[in-house]
Amino acid sequence: MRITMVGSGYVGLVSGACFADFGHDVICVDKDAAKIDALLAGRMPIYEPGLDALVASNVAAGRLAFSTDLAASVRGADAVFIAVGTPSRRGDGHADLSYVHAAAEEIAGAIDGFTVIVDKSTVPVGTGDEVERIIRDANPAAEFAVVSNPEFLREGAAIDDFKRPDRVVIGSDDPRALEVMRAIYRPLAIGRSPIIEMSRRAAELTKYAGNAFLATKITFINEIADLCEKVGADVQDVARGIGLDNRIGAKFLHAGPGYGGSCFPKDTLALLKTAQDCEAPQRIVEAVVAVNDQRKRAMGRKIITAMGGDVRDKTIAILGLTFKPNTDDMRDSPAISIIQTLQDAGASVRAYDPEGIEQAKKVLDDVTYCEGAYQAVDGADAVAIVTEWNQFRALDLKRIKALLKGDVLVDLRNIYARADVEAIGLRYTAVGR
C-alpha cells in the first residue's frame, strides 16, 4: 500500500516508520523544512528508543521517504494519515483543531482517485465529520472516505506498542475504506492483534475515554498513597493487593508525583470540554484533573517538609526532569511544578536528566543543569528522584551520602527500600510509604 503521513512529529514519524517496516511505501510530510532536512540526514526530531535505527533501515530499503511537498505526496496514495498536533487551545482548553483542518483542506486539492483519509491525531468526537465536510467543500468531485484510527503509543515504548498493539481501533462504516485499512494492518494478523471496527464517532471517543480512565487510575492510587501515609500503610502493598484482581489490573497503580506528558493532560481537558458542550458532565474526570494539578505542587512541598520546612538558601538536586523515562518530553512534567515550588520557597536547584535537559531549558529558568547524577548531588542539601530512569534505580547510595552536604533523599517514585537508605545514614521520604 502507498501511505502518506501528514505530520512528522511523534505519532507521524513512529507510525510512518513502522508502516514502512511492515512493507508499505510511506512518505512522511511536514511543513517544517528544517525537520525534513534533519530526517533526510538521519537526525531524529525526538528521542524514542530504536527509532533512529528503524528509520535508517527503511530509508535504505527505499520504503520510507520524507518531503515538504504535501500535494505531490498525496497524489496516488491509498491512504493519507493526518498526524498533526492537537494541543489544548489557549483560553478555553478545547483541542486546537486548526492544524487538522488546514491539513484536510490541503489534502482535498491533491486527492487522485479513491483515497482513505485517516484521522490519526487525537481529536474530539465529530472531528471526522468536519474533516469530511472540509474536503467535500474544497473538492466536490473527490472520491474519499474519512476514517478514525486513534493511536495508543506510549512514549518510550512506541515502536513495540505499534508492532504488538493491545488493539487497533478503526472507525468507519465505508466498505472500501475498511478494505484499505484491513490491508494496511494485515501484517499484524500474525501476532493476532485484535482489530476492532466501530463507528467513526465511537473510535474518536475511545481514545479519550481510554486516556481518561488511565489518568483516573493514576490519580486514584496517588490519593490512596496520601491515606497510606496517614494510617501507616505501604501503598505498594495496597497496589499489589488490588492489582492482582483481574477486574482492576496492576498497570498504572504506581504512586508518584502525578501524570504529565503530551496525552493525559490535554486529552482529559478536551474530553471535559466536549462533555460540557454536550451537557453530559464527567464529574469523575473533573476531579481527576483537579487533583492531579494540585498534586504536582504538593510534591514540591513534600520535599520542603522533608527538609524541615525551610529550604531558603538550600540547594536541592533533582534527578529526572521528563514526565517519564525513555523520552525527552517535558510537556506538563511534574518536575516543572516541583522545581518552581522549590524556587518559590527560596531554594536553588541542580538537575540532571539523561535526555530531557535541552527541552527543560525551554520551560525552566535559573536551574543549574549537570552532566550526571553524582555531579548534581555534589554539595546539595538534599536529593529528590522525580523520574524513574533506569540509571537512577541502582545509584551508589554510599557515594550519594558522601557527596551530599545534607542527608535527605526524597524518592517520589518509590524506587528504593527505606531500610537500605537509612542504613547508610540518609533520611528517607517516599510516597505513600
Per the prediction, the chain carries an average pLDDT of 96
Counts of helices then strands in the chain (DSSP H, E): 17, 14
Which runs of E-coded beta strand occur in 293-426? Answer: 315-319, 348-352, 367-369, 382-385, 408-411
Q: What is residue 110's three-state secondary structure?
A: coil
- Is the Cβ–Cβ distance between 45 and 35 less than 8 Å? yes
CA distance 364 to 187: 43
- Specify the DSSP element, H or E, that contains 196: strand 195-198
CA distance 87 to 370: 31
Q: What is residue 8's three-state secondary structure?
A: coil
- Specify the DSSP element, H or E, that contains 44: none
Q: Residue 411 region, left (φ>0) first, then alpha (ψ -120 to 50), else beta? A: beta
Q: Is the pLDDT of residue 189 over 90?
A: no
**Average pLDDT of span 74-85:** 96
Question: Confidence class of residue 30 from pLDDT cuts 50, 70 and 90?
Answer: very high
Question: Confidence class of residue 53 from pLDDT cuts 50, 70 and 90?
Answer: very high
Of 18, 263, 278, 370, the active-site residue reads 263
For the chain, what percent of residues have pLDDT higher than 90?
97
**Average pLDDT of span 302-309:** 98
- Convert the pLDDT of each residue in 225-261 to its tens digit: 999 999 999 999 999 999 999 999 999 999 999 999 9
CA distance 66 to 45: 13
Q: Is the pLDDT of residue 93 over 90?
A: no
- Convert the pLDDT of each residue in 114-157 to its tens digit: 999 999 999 999 999 999 999 999 999 999 999 999 999 999 99
- Specify the DSSP element, H or E, that contains 126: none
Lowest-pLDDT range of 38-52, 84-98, 403-417? 84-98
Q: What is residue 197's three-state secondary structure?
A: strand
Question: Confidence class of residue 173 from pLDDT cuts 50, 70 and 90?
Answer: very high
Question: Confidence class of residue 65 from pLDDT cuts 50, 70 and 90?
Answer: very high
Q: Is the pLDDT of residue 262 over 90?
A: no
Question: Confidence class of residue 400 from pLDDT cuts 50, 70 and 90?
Answer: very high
Question: Confidence class of residue 192 from pLDDT cuts 50, 70 and 90?
Answer: confident
CA distance 356 to 337: 16
**Average pLDDT of span 322-330:** 96
Q: Would you state the cell numbers that stand for residue 302, as one nine-digit string?
A: 513534600
- Is the Cβ–Cβ distance between 149 and 207 less than 8 Å? no
Q: What is residue 95's three-state secondary structure?
A: strand
Give the model's pLDDT for residue 382: 98
**Average pLDDT of span 183-208:** 94
Q: Would you state the cell numbers that stand for residue 174, as one nine-digit string?
A: 465505508
Find the angle CA(238)-CA(242)-CA(246) to the nearest 5 degrees.
160
Q: Would you state the cell numbers that stand for residue 121, as one nine-digit string?
A: 491525531
**Average pLDDT of span 353-357:** 97
**Average pLDDT of span 66-72:** 97
User: How would DSSP label each residue in 243-280?
Assistant: HTSTTT-STT---SS---SSSHHHHHHHHHHHHHHTT-
194 Cβ contact list (under 8 Å, min separation 6): 166, 167, 168
- Convert the pLDDT of each residue in 145-160 to its tens digit: 999 999 999 999 999 9
Give the model's pLDDT for residue 94: 86
All structural domains of the chain: 2-198 (3.40.50.720), 201-433 (3.40.50.720)
- Does 263 participate in catalysis according to the annotation? yes
Find the angle CA(413)-CA(418)-CA(419) to the nearest 5 degrees.
150
Question: Confidence class of residue 90 from pLDDT cuts 50, 70 and 90?
Answer: confident
- Convert the pLDDT of each residue in 9-29 to its tens digit: 999 999 999 999 999 999 999
Phi, psi of 46 (to 5 degrees): -135, 160
Question: Confidence class of residue 91 from pLDDT cuts 50, 70 and 90?
Answer: confident
